[in-house]
Chain A
Amino acid sequence: MLGLNKKDSKFLLIVIALTVCTPILLQPFPEGSGLAQFNAGYPDLMQRFAIYGIFAIGFNILFGLTGYLSFGHAAFLGVGSYSVVWMYKLLDYNVIWGLPLAIITSGLFALAIGYVSLRRSGIYFSILTLAFAQMSFNVAYSVLTPLTNGETGLQVYTSDKQILLGANEPNSPHLFGLVMNQSAKLNVGDWVFTFNIGYYFCAVIAILAFYLSLRIFRSPFGLMLKAVKCNQQRMNYTGLNSRPYTLAAFVISGMYAGLAGGLLASMDPLAGAERMQWTASGEVVLMTILGGTGTLMGPVLGAGFIKYFENIFSKINETVLHSWFSWLPDGMEDAIVWVLHFFVGKGWHLTLGMLFMLIVIFLPGGLVDGASRIREWYKNRKGGGAASSETSTTPAE
């Protein structure tokens, strides 16, 4: 199907099915129950899953395949957002103008940065990309204020021209009249499912992005990138110039980031310079590593994981903790709550940092690697169970 072999088509179909059912799957607890706070099926969060999924997929094409660790991808995210908001300001709220522009501008931007940065590899590459991203952030914050509106962030004002704006067009981002922040609610018993147009728009694009990355992974081009990661020197010795390949990967991943940034602005018509800050670049690195570098599904999982727990953990406060542990004796309850309150609420980043360190130390392959290890261990136990029971000594009754 679509140029994929059987296994990959099945994989793609599963991904599509999961994406379509996300509003249902993420709402497993009935409304009003104590566990309802773990529900993630609201539009804003689901949109973020899809958008940051795209961002991480793109980053993975560069880092996962070629091994070049870029610390400056947030710059492309910012450029994408700015382009989309500018199209709102100049034309109208239809996202169809902005998104292609976001991809093109971020692609050109990535071409320029990549052309320079890719002359170096390893740590130098990381620092060069970091320098470029910080430079864009600083410039967007200060000199380019007419273009980016500086600290306030770029947004649409009533005084803007919007030359294509029709008489009865919606006053927020839309796609030919389909307003992004509209959603349909479905009540099934105690459960409330929200089907949001914006989410499905992002989801369709995310699936396309995923399909494209699947094709890249399976193509000769992808193989070439993997060879770069494996041993670039040896590749160069065979007489092959690897720079065009890495540059292409860099530009593609920059375009993904621009698309993600454009989608962020499509969901919420704002663009701020802080989207370009290097902490934002760090976040996508975290997502990719957490999920599993170089795997297809890993970055998406990582993005979902981080965004989900960011939302859920930061909602938990001391009162919630107290209600959870109220069954414990008083002193112990206070002690446990005191320890845990560092890790939830505002302290969520501490949990994230620790989790990330643990993953890098013990599970460099990320969550996907962890899952496959568990599967293997389970298989071995099942398969080798008969053999091992003979050799192992059984304890006396």
Chain B
Amino acid sequence: MDAILLQILNGLDKGSAYALIALGLTLIFGTLGVVNFAHGALFMIGSFCAVTLQKILNISSITIDETQKDFLGNPLKVKTPYVEAWFGEVTGQAIINWSVPLAILFAIPIMLLVGFVMERGLIKHFYKRPHADQILVTFGLAIVLQEIIKAMYGANPIPTPAPDVFRGSLDFGVLLGFDPNAVIYPYWRLIYFAFSTVVIAAVFSFLQFTTFGMVVRAGMADRETVGLLGINIDKRFTFMFGVAAAVAGLAGVMYTPINSPNYHMGMDFLVLSFVVVVVGGMGSLPGAVLAGFMLGILESFASMNEIKSIIPGIDQIIIYLVAIVILMTRPRGLMGRKGVMEE
């Protein structure tokens, strides 16, 4: 029982990342009808926002302290980050320590801007082109973004730790009456799950309860008619592209403590997120979220030793296998709408 619970929990954080990326992908596909292969790159840019903020906060002034010597006998150079000099030592260190959560605020405007530029500058010209062209041009864009990040930050993963408060793990099993140490779960993963739930809820309520969201939903259902009513639907769709980029970016920001960001993390996630979108159903937002969590949990179940001993290697292929089975039996995906990209 506790083993099952542990696997469900383990699957949640990866599932959250899948769900967030797939949500953005579906949003873009549902509104603009564009297949965005650069979405993984947006995820990666988001996590590098966190890296950048951490670097900015750590910019230090160097003073030479004559009273102390370093191991070579030279005067010791003391680095004080400017943030500490400005806000005092305690507050400054706290700010640096909390750089990852702070990066959320930093990343939102950047990602909105990136999304806006991408849509207006490039994707706009590809609405009418075949899907293959859209895939190809965004694939090229993904390579370019990835290489730019590689040129700026190098090829090695950059550790970006979570705030000290969340370093430890929660003994989750004790809360439910299992033995101590049976179900242990790092705090940050719990936070990641909570965060992604909040983001998903925010996106859904934005679409469901605001006039803007209503127009967007109407546009997803029938773009032409909404346009005929005198509503500038393109403008709203562009904004939704920005939102999708921001969602992917936020997923990336919060993922940095779990997995140190490197330049190809976007591509690694992209392939899986596409599978998630297809399983959930092209153009269905709840489907993307559901499939994201489902595949995340399935993946962690498949990596259990008991299951691996029955079918070796199942953990490596389970997601693809599920995708193939679903596509063969239910081409629309789990919750796909009728008539949306069935062929």
Contact = CB atoms under 8 A, between A and B. Distances in A.
Contacts of B143: 349-350, 352-353, 356
A357 B313 CA distance: 37
A347 B151 CA distance: 7
Given A130-B271, A349-B143, A357-B144, A124 B327 contact: yes
A1 interface: no
Contacts of A127: 274-275, 278, 323, 327
The dominant DSSP class at the B interface is helix
Given A124-B327, A360-B137, A138 B144 contact: no
Interface stretch (A17-25, A114-122, A171-179, A264-272): A114-122
Interface in A127-182: 127-128, 130-132, 134-135, 138-139, 141-144
A116 B331 CA distance: 12
A51 interface: no
Contacts of B341: 122-124
Contacts of A69: 132, 135-136
Interface string B129-166: 00111011101111110111011000000000000000
B306 interface: no
A139 B341 CA distance: 30
A279 B327 CA distance: 23
Contacts of A123: 35, 131, 135, 282, 341
B316 A354 contact: no
Nearest to A145: B313
B148 A357 contact: no
B343 interface: yes
Contacts of B131: 122-123
A138 B153 CA distance: 28
A12 B313 CA distance: 47
A350 B313 contact: no
Interface string A332-348: 00000000001000110
Contacts, number: 106
Contacts of B282: 123
Nearest to A289: B136
Instruction: Please name the 10 residue pairs, one residue from A and one from B, whose CB atoms are nearest each other, closest first.
Output: A143-B313, A353-B143, A138-B316, A350-B147, A357-B140, A353-B144, A131-B320, A356-B140, A135-B320, A360-B137
Contact of B133 (A119, A130, A364): A364
A25 to B, nearest CB: 30
A360 B324 contact: no
B151 A350 contact: yes
A142 B278 CA distance: 26
Nearest to B144: A353
A43 interface: no
Interface string A85-116: 00000000000000000000000000000001
B135 A342 contact: no
Nearest to A350: B147
A130 B278 CA distance: 12
B157 to A, nearest CB: 17
Given A116-B328, A120-B343, A350-B151, A134 B312 contact: no
Contact of A116 (B142, B271, B278, B324): B324
A139 B142 CA distance: 26
Given A285-B136, A349-B143, A352-B143, A139 B313 contact: yes
B221 interface: no
B45 to A, nearest CB: 15
B269 to A, nearest CB: 13
B147 A353 contact: yes
A126 interface: yes
Give the size range of A's interface with the partner: 35 or more
Contacts of B35: 123
Contacts of B140: 353-354, 356-357, 360
B316 A141 contact: yes
Nearest to B275: A131
Given A124-B278, A127-B278, A364-B133, A132 B320 contact: yes
17 contacts: A69-B132, A122-B341, A123-B135, A124-B278, A124-B327, A124-B343, A127-B275, A128-B323, A128-B327, A130-B274, A131-B324, A134-B320, A143-B312, A349-B143, A350-B148, A353-B144, A353-B146
Contacts of B148: 350
A78 to B, nearest CB: 15
Given A122-B343, A354-B144, A139 B278 contact: no
A181 to B, nearest CB: 31
A127 B122 CA distance: 23
Nearest to B282: A123
Nearest to B130: A67
A30 interface: no
B125 interface: yes
A142 B313 CA distance: 7
Interface in A313-349: 342, 346-347, 349
Interface string B306-336: 0000001100110011011001100100000
Nearest to A278: B271
A144 B317 CA distance: 12
A28 interface: no
B77 to A, nearest CB: 28
A135 B327 contact: no
Interface string B118-131: 00001001000001
